[in-house]
Amino acid sequence: MNETQDFFEQLKQYFELQKRSIAVTTAEGLSRVLSAVIAAIVLIMLGSTVLLLLAFAAAHWLGELTGSPSLGFLILFALFLAVFILVWMKREKWIKQPMSSITEDVFGVTGLDKTKVHEEAARSQQQLNESFNAAIAPLPKAKNRIEQFSQLVSKGTMIFEGVMFGLKLVRGFRSAFRKH
């Protein structure tokens, strides 16, 4: 019976660690997606600005300042190209890291060691497998009627606890997915 209690305690711990592991994984993935989207938006905005200003400058202003529309066009183009390259080179620090912090805050995983969480979840799964195998292993053959009766009571208790645990799980899932 103690093995059954250990199994259910480890099952509870396993699900908690899985929940944290999923939160960490989701935060990492969301961080990557958000940083890519923001990088794309920034680069598209800068690219659009480059094109707009280059067209405007070529039509109105650069011809007057330099006396050579081609030279003015190239100077402005070089400036925006430098900005574009700078943003691209610093995208990790300027875009990804802040977005990673925001998503970690959103998912409540700030300060967690991601590798450690995944390792704990894997270790918990291994312990859960071992406990499950120990809980369902057949009992040794009874030597007398008292041991036989004790084993029968133990099996009945384990079955009852398993059914009650299953009912609690079903109730928990139903209440979690019930429409409000």
Q: Domain coordinates of the chain in residue numbers?
A: 2-137, 142-180
Contact between residue 28 and residue 114 where contact means Cβ atoms under 8 Å apart? yes
* pLDDT-wise least confident of 18-22, 153-157, 171-175: 171-175
The pLDDT value recorded for residue 86 is 94
Give the pLDDT confidence score for residue 51 in this predicted structure: 79
Burial class, 94, CB count within 10 angstroms (exposed 0-12 / middle 13-18 / buried 19+): middle
Evaluate if residue 62 carries a pLDDT over 70: no
**111, 100 Cβ separation under 8 angstroms:** no
Share of the chain above pLDDT 90, in %: 6
Q: What integer best gives the mean pLDDT of the chain? A: 79
Residue of higher predicted confidence among 156 and 61: 156
Write the CA distances from 59 to 30, 53, 56, 69, 93, integer angstroms.
43, 10, 5, 8, 37
